[in-house]
Amino acid sequence: MIEVKEVAKTYPGTVALEDVSLRIAAGEVLALAGENGSGKSTLMKTLAGHIRPDAGEISIDGAPVRFQNPNESVAAGIGLVEQELAVARHLSVEENILLGALPRRRYLPGAVAWKQVRKRAREVMDELAIEVDPRATLDELPVNVQQLVAIASVLSRRPKLMLLDEATSSLSEDETDHLLRTVRTLSERGMSVIFISHRMREMRQVADRIVVLRDGRVSGESELSDVSDADVVGMLVGRELSEIYPQNVPARERIVLQVDEVTARNYIQNVSVTVREGEIVGLAGLVGSGRSTLAQTIFGAIRPTAGSIRLEGKTVLFRHPADALAAGIGFVGENRRVQGILPGRTVRENLTACSLGTFSRSGVLSRRAEQDQARQAASEMGVKYTNLEDPIGGLSGGNQQKVLLARSLMRGPKLMVLDEPTRGVDVGAKAEIYQHVVQAAANGMSFLIASSELPELLGLCDTIYVLSQGRVVGRLDGNQATEEQIAALAFHTDDATEVA
């Protein structure tokens, strides 16, 4: 049994944890929920020895432990899958999985026993149904696979307590289901789990009990079977959340974006998509179906090899994302750490990174104007921060995501291309973001949103395109489509073109 007693952690200007106590029995799966910045990750990092609490105590089976570093926590049987993907991008899948514990050859000191590495890696990969070449470099693989590898790496150590900090946020539904089943099985064999997610469905699927954090304190605790979804949301947000998806205003006639038979590398083929003024268009599909490639192609980050893109009637060929930005397209990528955040730079600099031109005169920045704009953009998006001049890394994951949204909205684009815009964002903040999107759409901004969260697409979009294997396999009316319809299309394979 693992017990956390009265743990506290303060950062300059923020109380991240205050008087937090909880206990997890062997074999128990505990869901940990809370808004962005409520202290979930901080608590996980405390358990994993990445940070030391200011006060309080952690004990394992009654014996108090004081981790001086992550190694000690690992040795005590605690394994953390971090919220921000932590993998060695230039190493192979198998090396990543066994990193830190590479099996050695018996008679050749120091030499790695590669056969064993492969065998052990295979076992864990099978367990999580990771179907890639174990020798592939992580860099070449999509985020979801990288995430699975990060999970596999922790699982390979057979921890007593596994901490999953939003580990499912970039996984497909199938992968999530499989992971949660595996976790369940392992917990029946005695492994304890703390599971963090912003999705109710997942928590119900895997956990027995839920603990809710709010502003660094435990604000509620319950058996999951005793509470309704609305109860949990109430505990999370501290108020009733009546409707998450606001009423959408019908789009106008004028076409803003016309993607015509576009092919890029071999990831998308002959894709055609139309976005009207004020329209919210969704891109659905399984992970790997080409949604992100399409989004990046429109933004000029990937060059199309065939086909044409027209923006407000004019054919455009962007050679660089800067061209797309100048033409009035905004973009937020699916992987905030790789594609968005400027680590080590301040919240302000992260907010204004693509609007430098708007408050500079012949290259010289006006600090005052920049600060005003940054402050305004942050408050409009509801970013929770202490000081604009703090490094961005001090913000919780969800708040970093909001910074990225605010960054690209600051330029007032005509078209926003968003790839998984609410990844890692809590329910309350999601509702706020949806409100923003719908409001902006009513004012004539167009949206193209790639998302794996079907409820999000269904609740928000006027039109939904379904992609499968790099092709558009269906175009649905957002008000009438159902999850089943989309899923059926998304799984469709070869003869799919006829459906479109």
Binding segment toward Mg ion, per CB under 5 A, in 78-86, 114-122, 410-418, 467-475: 78-86
- What is the closest distance, in whole angstroms, from the C-beta atom of residue 101 to other proteins in the complex? 9
- Binding partner selected for residue 203 from ligand ATP, Mg ion, other proteins, none, CB under the kind-specific 5 to 8 Å limit: none
267 to 32, 127, 133, 290: CA distances (angstroms): 37, 28, 19, 6
Question: Is the CB of 296 or the CB of 401 nearer to ligand ATP?
Answer: 401
Pair type for strands 161-165 and 78-81: parallel
CB of 429 to ligand ATP, least distance (A): 8
Give whichever of 324 and 464 is closer to other proteins, judged by the CB atom: 324
Question: How far is C-alpha 445 from the geometric centre of its chain's CA atoms?
Answer: 24
> Which partner, other proteins, ligand ATP, Mg ion, none, binds residue 88 by CB below 5 to 8 Å per kind?
other proteins
DSSP-based three-state secondary structure for 136: coil
Query: Counting contacts by CB under 8 A, is residue 121 touching other proteins?
Result: no
- 244: which 2 tokens? 């998450």
Phi/psi of residue 124, nearest 5 degrees:
-65, -40
Q: Does 350 bind ligand ATP (CB under 6 A)?
A: no
Return the number of the residue (22 or 256) whose C-beta is nearest Mg ion: 22
111 touches which of ligand ATP, other proteins, Mg ion, none (CB within 5 to 8 A by kind)? none
Instruction: Out of 37, 282, 285, 333, name the contact with other proteins by CB under 8 A.
Output: 333
Q: Of residues 41-60, which lie at the interface with ligand ATP (CB under 6 A)?
A: 41-42
Strands 463-468 and 471-477: antiparallel
DSSP label at 170? T
Count the neighbouring beta carbons within 10 Å of the beta carbon of residue 275: 25
Q: What angle separates helix 114-127 from helix 143-155, to the nearest 10 degrees?
A: 110
The residue type of 444 is G
| Residues in contact with Mg ion, shown as a per-residue x/- string from 37 to 76 under the rule CB under 5 A | ---xx-----------------------------------
Q: Contact region for Mg ion (CB under 5 A) — 74-82, 292-300, 337-345, 395-403?
A: 395-403
Site for ligand ATP, residues 73 to 92, rule: CB under 6 A = 83
Question: CB under 6 A: which stretch of 252-260, 365-373, 394-402, 439-447 binds ligand ATP?
Answer: 394-402
Nearest to 421 by CA among 339, 334, 488: 334
Beta-bridge mates of residue 78: 161
Angle between helices 427-442 and 397-409 (to 10 degrees): 10
Listed ranges 20-28, 141-149, 349-357, 480-488: which one lies at the site for other proteins (CB under 8 A): 349-357
Provide the token pair at 242: 């009546």
Residue 211 within binding range of ligand ATP, rule CB under 6 A: no
Q: 249 is written with which tokens?
A: 């205003």
Kindly tell me which of 14 and 269 has the beta carbon lying closer to ligand ATP: 14
Q: How many CB atoms lie within 10 A of CB 417?
A: 29
Tokens matching residue 460: 């928000």
Q: Which of 266, 308, 360, 443 binds other proteins (CB under 8 A)?
A: 360
**Which token pair is 311?**
């923006």
Which residue is it, tokens 């919210």?
280
Q: Which stretch binds other proteins (CB under 8 A): 43-51, 176-184, 224-232, 267-275?
A: 43-51
Buried b (16+ CB within 10 A) or exposed e, 215-232: bbbbbbeeebeebeeeeb
Choose which of 14, 38, 83, 147 interacts with Mg ion (CB under 5 A): 83
Q: Is 428 in the site for ligand ATP (CB under 6 A)?
A: no
Q: Which of 152, 162, 160 lies closest to 130, judged by CA?
A: 152
Q: Closest Cα partner for 335 from 68, 146, 466?
A: 146
Contact residues: Mg ion, CB under 5 A: 40-41, 83, 397
Contact residues: ligand ATP, CB under 6 A: 11, 14, 16, 34, 36-42, 83, 393-399, 424, 426
Contact residues: other proteins, CB under 8 A: 10, 12, 45, 48-52, 54, 68-71, 73-74, 82, 84, 86-88, 99-100, 153, 299, 301, 320-322, 324-326, 331, 333, 338-345, 349, 353-354, 356-357, 360, 363-365, 367, 391-394, 407
